Amino acid sequence: MAESNSADLMDKIVSLCKRRGFIFQSSEIYGGINGFWDYGPLGVELRKNIRDCWWNDMVRRRDDVVGLESSIIMHPKVWEASGHVGGFTDPMVDCKVSKQRFRADQIFFSTVIVDGKNVGYVTVLESERIAEELQEKAETFKRKKAIQGKLEPIQPRDFTEAKAEEIPLIPSPATGEPGSLTPPRAFNMMFETYVGALRDESAVAYLRPETAQGMFVDFKAVLDTGRVKIPFGIAQVGKSFRNEITPRNFIFRSREFEQMEMEYFIADDDDWAKWHRYWIDWCREWLISVGIFAESLSEYDHPKEKLAFYSKGTTDLMFKYPFGVQELWGIAARGDYDLTQHAKASGQPMEYFDDVKKKRYVPHVIEPAVGVDRILLAILCSAYVEDQAPDEKGKMETRTVLKLHPRIAPIKVAVFPLLKNKPELVKKAQEVRDLLRPYMTVFYDEASAIGRRYRRQDEVGTPFGVTIDFDTLGEKGPELADTVTLRERDTMKQERVKISDLLGILLPRVR
Ligand code: GAP
């Protein structure tokens, strides 16, 4: 990760994404719409590469995982059976004065205790430094109110833990004053719509809040047609929608996002912990294979008392984002809950006949579930670097470079004629572009000085640059004819290679 401080780094990444056509605010010309993002020309390629890498590694290169693409809008009973209609909620709190809305579990407060006496409350929003910020606020509170005595260490709690009598005394994070926060109430995050011409209760349907239910609902169909045998998985990539109360941190928490989920079905008496561990390790290795540093990853085991009653265990792979260590990939052992729920609600059995064990059972499931956008952000955070490089005149300047793994870089190679007003150079460069283009994404650029062109590609993470110069034309001797300069982004090293060798050199390095 870059050496800049965290807030700074996030600002730089957001700005680069906008400036270079990775990610834009959705509907920006109308003032934007909160929680929705558009992927521009380079963002679309980066996202597609992440998705393709996952699909290749998760589905195509395995014998035991098959793919699925279920519809986004499904029968509303799916979401009743899954528990989403009744329980897919976040605790919401309103500030009656500022009209701002918060997630109760993202407001942290503490009593201010001086010489054993409760003298008031302080509040902060979730951050990397909750305890430190609350302590600082408690000290300021005591000083401003000129309270004498010894301040005791603060004890952070989140707003869902506030007692009814405490709520009027806890300051709003928006105004800093107590008395304006409402008690938390459950807010269902499902986006509703209507199917068909009628707009009444009978026509209500939902945009899916996760892709997972498609795999459970189609479990029998895949089983009956796919020649799959337990243990096996069904994987899906697709859009999910959640009416998040507080979308934030750029694309980290959005209202429309893309998920890559896989349901891995195992025998009811199989060692679920072994498979759980297997998939945690697989996910971790996969993240490293697309350029995320192992040091930025950690594991968080959900405490037993906070798990849903059916869950055997959930571990999140956490990433150190600039705004804090946050969930990137959840790996859940969900028992047979989902299949059993759908069997009960639909009346269709969801059993598997195991011809090795000679018995019939409802399979259990391990579910690795991740958001493409969260991976993309983690990759950008890992790849963003500012280093020093010589400019055209040899003077050192700051270079911004995205050290993207070549597997996922939006552009694999940039092709440059040294000068744009020399038709022989342009012609040769276009021949090289056309030679490479069937095999990889190529960007052809003839505008401005060569150094500036290299910098532009460094900033968008293009791992290789190929320059066609007068040597290529054989002007310095026949031995250099039809050779080009191949420049590597990270080291900025340049080597002379034959055009006829170029494809063989580049292909294994970008795949
Ligand atoms: N089927 C299980 C499931 O959906 P989840 O933890 O709610 O579990 C899985 O979501 C993953 O989807 C998360 O780990 C995260 O990577 C991504 N995700 C969830 N909500 C998101 C949001 N609002 N914006 C972006 N990504 C999100």
Residue 445 identity (one-letter amino acid): D
Q: What pLDDT band is residue 2 in, cutting at 50, 70 and 90?
A: very low
**Region 292-320 average pLDDT:** 95
What is the rounded average pLDDT for all residues in the chain?
A: 96
- What tokens does 29 get? 């010309």
Using the predicted structure, report yes or no on whether residue 462 has a pLDDT greater than 80.
yes
Using the predicted structure, report yes or no on whether residue 435 has a pLDDT greater than 80.
yes
Q: 385-396: per-residue pLDDT in tens? A: 999 998 878 899
Which residue(s) pair with 413 in the sheet?
A: 442, 464
**For ligand 1, is residue 374 a contact (CB within 6 Å)?**
yes
**Region 166-181 average pLDDT:** 97
CA angle 443, 445, 449 (to 5 degrees): 140
Secondary structure (DSSP) of 226-259: H---SSEEEEEEEEEE---SS-BTTTTB-SEEEE
**Region 130-138 average pLDDT:** 96
pLDDT of residue 44: 98
For the ranges 49-63, 470-484, 493-507, the lowest mean pLDDT is seen at: 470-484
Instruction: Determine the residue of 51, 68, 210 to mutate for testing ligand 1's pocket, defined as the one with the most ligand atoms within 8 A of the Cβ atom.
Output: 210
d(CA 110, CA 155) in angstroms, rounded, equals 5
Distance 244 CA to ligand 1 centre (A): 11
Could you give the 3-state DSSP secondary structure of residue 3? coil
Q: 21-76: per-residue pLDDT in tens? A: 999 999 999 999 999 999 999 999 999 999 999 999 999 999 999 999 999 999 99
Q: What pLDDT band is residue 4 in, cutting at 50, 70 and 90?
A: low
Do residues 74 and 208 make contact, with C-beta atoms less than 8 angstroms apart? yes
**For ligand 1, is residue 212 a contact (CB within 6 Å)?**
yes
Residue 164 identity (one-letter amino acid): A
**Region 274-282 average pLDDT:** 98
CA angle 381, 386, 391 (to 5 degrees): 150
Instruction: Determine the residue of 215, 234, 240 to mutate for testing ligand 1's pocket, defined as the one with the most ligand atoms within 8 A of the Cβ atom.
Output: 240
Q: H helices of 358-449, where? A: 372-383, 423-436
Do residues 64 and 214 make contact, with C-beta atoms less than 8 angstroms apart? no
Q: 369-420: per-residue pLDDT in tens? A: 999 999 999 999 999 999 999 887 889 999 999 999 999 999 999 999 999 9
Residue 269 φ then ψ, to 5°: -105, 15
- What tokens does 257 get? 């996002």
CA angle 145, 149, 150 (to 5 degrees): 110
Nearest CA-CA partner of 243 in 256, 224, 234: 256
Verdict on whether the full-model pTM lies above 0.85: yes
Using the predicted structure, report yes or no on whether residue 1 has a pLDDT greater than 50.
no
**For ligand 1, is residue 188 a contact (CB within 6 Å)?**
no
